[in-house]
């Protein structure tokens, strides 16, 4: 589904927390994947983003690395 929102995160990441809070506040449903929980999840995030930084946000097919607020 092209409008699915996926956020790749890691515990303790303030930008990840801010992104999740923003999506929740705006009523945007998302699926969270913790990159520390499974090496395959980490590799999937790196493959999509081209970097190991989080958060990686996949929204409507667009990949964004990091979160600066809205």
pLDDT tens, position by position, 6-61: 999 999 999 999 999 999 999 999 999 999 999 999 999 999 999 999 999 999 88
Residue 28 and residue 24: Cα distance in Å, rounded? Answer: 6
> Is 70 inside a domain boundary?
no
Sign of CA dihedral 4, 10, 11, 16: negative
> Is 19 inside a domain boundary?
yes
For 27-65, the DSSP string reads T---EEEETTS-HHHHHHHHHHHSSS-S-EEEETTEEEE
> Is 36 inside a domain boundary?
yes
Could you tell me the residue range of the domain that residue 24 belongs to? 5-65
> Is 47 inside a domain boundary?
yes
> Is 24 inside a domain boundary?
yes
- C-alpha distances (whole Å) from 25 to each of 29, 36, 53, 58 are 10, 25, 24, 18
pTM of the model: 0.91
Please tell me the total count of domains within the chain.
Answer: 1
């Amino acid at each position: 589904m092209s409008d699915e929102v996926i956020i790749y995160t890691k515990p303790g990441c303030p930008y990840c927390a801010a992104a999740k809070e923003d999506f929740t506040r705006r009523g945007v449903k998302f699926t969270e994947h913790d990159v520390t929980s499974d090496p395959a999840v980490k590799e999937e995030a790196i493959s999509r983003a081209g970097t190991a930084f989080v958060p990686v946000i996949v929204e409507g097919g667009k990949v964004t690395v990091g979160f600066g607020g809205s």
